[in-house]
Structure 1
Amino acid sequence: MSVRLKLTLTYAGFLMVAGAMLLAAVWVFLLRYVPDRAMLINPDDKPAHGVFPVRSVLLDVFAPRAAAVLAFLLVFGLAGGWLLAGRMLAPLTRITNATRMATNRSLSHRIRLPGRKDEFRELADAFDTMLAQLEAHVAEQQRFAANASHELRTPLAITKTVLDAARTDPNRDTGRLVDRLHAVNTRAIDLTEALLLLSRANLRSFTREPVDLSLMAEEATETLLPLAERRGVTIETCGDITPTLGSPTLLLQLTTNLVQNAIVHNLPEQGSVWVKTSVRPKTVVLTVENTGAQLTPQLVSTLTEPFQRGTERLHSDHAGVGLGLAIVKTIAQTHDGTLTLIPRPAGGIRITVELPAISPHTDRENQGIDAWPPQ
């Protein structure tokens, strides 16, 4: 049976039970105050011969009318219940239709259920929100797939071009050919590793343990210091101990990407990078700020999308593969954190990563991890 039919039978059954109880109460009341038998009285107030069976006559009169009332209640309950059930289930019908459309890959449809905010309205609004998120996610995945295909095709096309040129020109300098192929192959490997890292971070398949973001910042800065010196960029680091919970490998990758991005996308000379860690009541904060070109808020809002760059593509060994900030955003989200990008008025950008903090006295019983700091 359909839900509408079940509700109809439920309404009709409830109405029948209520009517039967009401009639039973009336009958009990009549039996209580009406005698079983009564003497016949003549008009001259003299007793007549014989006794009149009051209850028997009353039952003969009451029973047919009670049955008629119950029959009316049954018909009324079935008809009214069918209409009421249909009215109540109308929102579910709209939600079901929207679900069918979503199953057919039509994610742009929205229910937009009118009326007061009740359980059906909350369900419809939640479903609309889910559809909007799914539509945005699918669109993002489609853009990502298209961009990844383009980025992966580029080194392969370059490799094919170089090899074709070498085949048509046997006297070509093999040293330069090998160097060119090595550079192109290195870029393809870097891109593939970045894509794999992005996929692993999305799966949240990593072990969480206490991590100090300030140590991650120092390690990333030391690693990238030669790159900064070659580009004439100065790096300043400061801040407090910032204990959080997560994957040391992923958080080091996050910090490294931020510092490298700040170094590469900087002024041609005499640029600066500031790396700072701080502690808030419930979170720890890593801030990486750099000088550079003027950026608009509209452009900054797109930098965390895969294969987006704040300036034109840089042809150098450290130009990146366009996944740096996308990886940072994914790692921050998988650690229940947030990533904020703000353009600096004087040029450049300020990037802030905020992650949940753990207490310096955290123990295994409270957090499910070893005591902080690690021994």
Structure 2
Amino acid sequence: MARAPGWSVRFRLTLSYAGFLLVAGVLLLSATWVFLNRVNHVGLILMPGYRYAVLRAFAPTAAVVLTFLLVFGLAGGWLLAGHMLAPLTRITDATRTAADGSLSHRIRLPGPNDEFRELADAFDTMLARLEAHVAGQQRFAANASHELRTPLAISKALLDVARADPDHDTGEILGRLHAVNTRAIELTEALLLISRADQRSFTREPVDLSLLAEEATETLLPLAEKHRVTLETGGEITPASGSAALLLQLTTNLVHNAIVHNLPGRGTVWVRTGVRPGAAVLTVENTGEQVAPELAATLTEPFQRGTERTHADHAGVGLGLAIVKTIAQAHDGTLTLTPRPAGGLRITVELPAPQA
């Protein structure tokens, strides 16, 4: 937005300092003049017309003093304002650098913990989060492009085979095309779900996490039976606030992830809900192979899969826990992944308790 040019803050502060010093000087000289004009000092011999003589002698001195105060106030005020505004200049330069696309720059303002230091530290924190967010978005876009390109490339190859060999089994090609197309649709829907949750474009309403946990486990019971995994659900009424559809998706993803990344034929999944001070808690825990802490820390990144724990028929699109993390953050919650000593994972989602 175009704005008319104005005086700089430094210049206005300089005028303020000089004006304040000049006013103080005028008041001091006025008080001195009143004192000399109205008080009879002991031992002072007063001549007729002494007041006018004192005024004639006092006025030039007062003018010199006021001129000195004005010059000193302007010079000193300019230097003092420049020193006081130096941190603001560093913050402004950092803002312009960030606006040009460089998010790695930090102010790192030295000095005491004053208002400027708090502002600089807050700006550095914002830059760090923005840099991490942009880097994550860039990785996400690159991974999404790669993941979406894969089914398209497979479809093209299948069509090329069908065109080059008209006698090839059409049913086999159609079946493989159907599977590839289904995977591409699932990936696209997952990307749209992440975008919707990330933008927080949903209406908050009262939700009971215990009911969502029961619904998710009932829906995925056939899958658990197929993998011969035991589902155990427990907990108390757990009120929360948010989108029932998104929180159901979060719970379903966690239970699905716990089923397919488990010990086939002898695994167990525990789904529990509960209330802590100020938080509604959902915990999904599963048996499985040992998970290294460094691997667990990356599983919520988009398209990161624990390939050594994934069954080939349920590899997924690599967005299950990424969706869970996005939905949890959209509800101002936290997601914690903890490897179990005996193998498998314990995943805990904490959401803010609804306001009374």
- Cα distance in 2 for partners of 1:152, 1:17 equals 73
2:34 matched residue in structure 1? 28
Give the alignment partner of residue 181 of structure 1, picking from 177, 181, 184: 177
1:7-38 superposed Cα distances (whole Å, 9 cap, x missing partner) = 11111110000000000000001111159xx9
The answer for the alignment partner of 1:47 in structure 2 is none
1:347 to 334, 343, 350: 343
Name stretches of at least 5 consecutive residues in structure 2 with no aligned partner.
Answer: 1-6
Answer whether contact 1:313 1:319 (CA < 8 A) is retained: no
Q: Distance in 2 between matches of 1:313 and 1:9?
A: 71
Match of 2:223 in 1: 227
1:171 shift after superposition: 0.5
Structure-1 separation of matches of 2:259 and 2:336 = 18
Question: Would you say 1:88 and 2:68 are equivalent positions?
Answer: no
CA deviations 1:13-69 (Å, max 9, x no partner) are 10000000000000001111159xx998xxxxxxxxxx6310111111000000000
Q: Does 1:65 align with 2:71?
A: no
Q: Which residue is equivalent to 2:18?
A: 12
How large is the Cα RMSD of the aligned pairs? 1.7
TM-score, normalized by length of structure 2? 0.94
Closer, same or farther: CA 314–154 of 1 in aligned 2, 3 Å: farther
Hey, what's the Cα distance between the residues in 2 that align with 1:187 and 1:205?
A: 26
TM-superposed CA distance for 1:269, in Å, is 2.7
In the alignment, the residues of structure 2 paired with residue 312 and residue 281 of structure 1 have an alpha-carbon distance, to the nearest angstrom, of: 37
* Superposition deviation, residue 286 in structure 1: 0.9
Moved over 3 A (4+): 312-317
CA shift digits 1:249-276 (9 cap, x unpaired): 1111001000000011112331111111
Q: 1:34, 1:55 within 8 Å by CA — same for their partners in 2?
A: no
- Residues 1-375 of structure 1 mapped to structure 2, 5 A cutoff: 1-34=7-40, 52-312=48-308, 314=310, 316-358=312-354
Letter in 1 for 2:12: K
Alpha-carbon distance in structure 1 between the residues aligned to 2:181 and 2:256:
21
Deviation at 1:319, TM superposition (A): 1.8
Structure-1 separation of matches of 2:289 and 2:307: 8
Q: Aligned-pair distance for 1:316? A: 4.1
Q: Is the 8 A contact 2:289 2:309 kept in 1?
A: no
SS of aligned partner of 1:307: coil
Q: Distance in 2 between matches of 1:252 and 1:120?
A: 45
Aligned residues between the structures: 348
- Aligned to 2:48, the other structure's residue is in SS state strand
SS at match of 1:149: helix
Deviations 1:184-235 (A, max 9, x none): 0000000000000111111111112121111111111111111111112111
Q: Is the 8 Å Cα contact of residues 103 and 127 (structure 2) preserved in structure 1? A: yes
Shift of 1:313: 8.2
**Residues 28 and 34 of structure 1: CA distance in aligned 2, closer, same or farther (over 3 Å):** same
Deviation (angstroms), 1:356: 2.2
| C-alpha displacement of 1:288 | 0.5
Distance 1:312 1:151 in 2: 19
> Does the 8 A contact of 2:94 with 2:106 survive in 1?
yes
